[in-house]
Structure 1
Amino acid sequence: MNAPSASRHPYLSPDAPRVLAHRGLVTEDAAAQGVVENSFAAVAEAHAAGAAYVESDCHVTADGEVVLFHDDDLQRVAGDARRIADVRLHELEELMAGRGGLVTLGQALEAFPDVRFNLDVKAEAAAEGVGRLVAPHAHRVLVTSFSDERRRAALAAAFAAGAEIRPATSPGSATVARLVALVALRQGRRVKAALEGLDALQVPERQGPLPVATRGLIRAAHAAGVEVHVWTVNDEADMQRLLDRGVDGLVTDRADTALALVNDRRTSAD
């Protein structure tokens, strides 16, 4: 399905398909107890369910701590209008205490040494901290961002902090849009050049009316040794359909469901 294993980043071993637990895993029971996404409890639940990969997001607090948090403010998660960048770590810990517990990026990497983290750099101010923190863990981290500038800044910071290898990486939205156009125009050489230095394309199946994770894009990525991971896939029938299409990873809020499906497919194939 993909390039020979010898050419893959260690993050992408063993073979696909991969289940990436989107912001951890919050089951109905956990949600009823107040647990929220990207909390320590959500990451722990994903790990307990057997997820080898956790997708999360990085912001930085007022006192410079990189935390796992998707939104740039606390409104949706905690009913607090303040921005993450304006809140100190101890304040955020207090707010998250009854919601599954805050987890910093450093804590996540240390507490879950066998989990591979897919990290979306959400804020420019977080890029340097993300790179520095993941440097010793580059073999099990993929760095991405909607902004290629933020993504590259985090990768550069990882090397500056002594990373022995580059973290795996997936491109920003501008690069993805360019790739979709090049594939549609059958510009094979330019597609291959645009995929250089990438390990995965992490994309939605569609962007509005525009198909993104097409068979053509998947074939082009695979020809270059690059995986295709689709987000955010929560319906079991959609999971089956996309895996049948050849995608290598599912980013999902229902990691438990996706893991069961992937295991069943592997058993059936044996």
Structure 2
Amino acid sequence: MSARVPQPVPRPHPYLDHPLPLPFAHRGGAADGLENTAAAFRRATAAGYRYFETDVHTTADGRLVAFHDATLDRVTDARGRIGELPWSAVAEARVGGTEPLPLFEELLEEFPHARWNVDLKAESALRPLVDLVRRTGAWDRVCVGSFDEGRVARAVRLAGPRLATSYGVRGVLALRLRSLGVPVPLRPGAVAAQVPETQGGVRVVDRRFVATAHRLGLQVHVWTVNAPDRMARLLDLGVDGIMTDHLQTLRGVLTERGAWV
């Protein structure tokens, strides 16, 4: 019998070319209420962050807006569903009464060294996002995720293998089952599992989950973690990235460990 030939470990996607663990500014650092605004991302940049998490919707006339909710109601001084409003109306809204909603293309341009973790909040945003990444050549700067695994799979079919993606709910469940010894299939091509620490009172992230992801060449990024003791516990488990609303808290925890770059 011939000896088994070792299989090469795949090279990480260029999106991940940063010393671990990765600190993510969740919605730019949402703790001050100005989430997903250029002002928030400027503050995150000033705090030393390179990885930003954001969300995208499309307006009625197809403009790709960086915003979390389907409606303007919660965090702006305006009302209405983004998908039912033209960009001219959405552009008048102010987050916290002061900050305009940015187009995602504007953020790519203003922060050329940033890496963006983008949550596809609506099916209508899929093609505009892929078209934008293709047109701007931002393949190494954007990782696409969604709770809807099928939506991410459709993005991959449209964009091709250069697009970095994370697993949706179905993919995370499959990875969790893998960590428990259940041989279920996984969508190929993802670069990370981006997960909550727990879901519905059930722990998602433990040593087996992290170890299984690493054996498969996947990073584990955990959201949204704001307490320093939880950050420390997850780092001790070996997670590869943490998303936080509290920028200085995560920076302090990583600095104490000599892990802030």
Superposition TM-score, scaled by structure 2 size: 0.89
Checking the alignment, whether the CA contact within 8 Å between 1:42 and 1:100 is kept in structure 2 is: no
Stretches of structure 2 that go unaligned for 5 or more consecutive residues are: 1-7
Cα deviations across residues 108-157 of structure 1 (Å, max 9, x unaligned)? 11110000000000000000011111221011111001112221222333
In structure 1, what is the Cα distance between the partners aligned to 2:201 and 2:259?
Answer: 36
In structure 1, what is the Cα distance between the partners aligned to 2:132 and 2:251?
Answer: 29
* Letter paired with 1:128: R
| Post-superposition offset of 1:96 | 2.1
* Letter paired with 1:96: R
* Letter paired with 2:257: R
Cα deviations across residues 185-240 of structure 1 (Å, max 9, x unaligned)? x13xx36x526311100000111121111111100001111000111000011101
Alignment size in residue pairs: 250
Stretches of structure 1 that go unaligned for 5 or more consecutive residues are: 160-164
Q: Are 2:13 and 1:22 aligned?
A: no
| SS of structure 2 residue aligned to 1:139 | coil
Superposition TM-score, scaled by structure 1 size: 0.86
Identity of matched residues, % = 40
The aligned runs of 1:78-89 (5 Å cut-off) are 78=76, 80-89=78-87
| Post-superposition offset of 1:6 | 6.5
Q: Which has the higher helix share?
A: 1
Task: Identify which range, 72-81 or 37-46, moves more after superposition.
Answer: 72-81
Of 177, 181, 184, 2:177 maps to 181
| SS of structure 1 residue aligned to 2:243 | strand
**Cα pair distance change 1:68/1:75, threshold 3 Å:** same
Checking the alignment, whether the CA contact within 8 Å between 2:71 and 2:82 is kept in structure 1 is: yes
Per the alignment, residue 207 of structure 2 pairs with 215
Task: Identify which range, 116-125 or 133-142, moves more after superposition.
Answer: 133-142
In structure 2, what is the Cα distance between the partners aligned to 1:197 and 1:123?
Answer: 22
**Cα pair distance change 1:183/1:139, threshold 3 Å:** same
In structure 1, what is the Cα distance between the partners aligned to 2:143 and 2:60?
Answer: 25
Checking the alignment, whether the CA contact within 8 Å between 2:20 and 2:259 is kept in structure 1 is: no
Per the alignment, residue 4 of structure 2 pairs with none
The aligned runs of 1:217-232 (5 Å cut-off) are 217-232=209-224
RMSD: 2.1
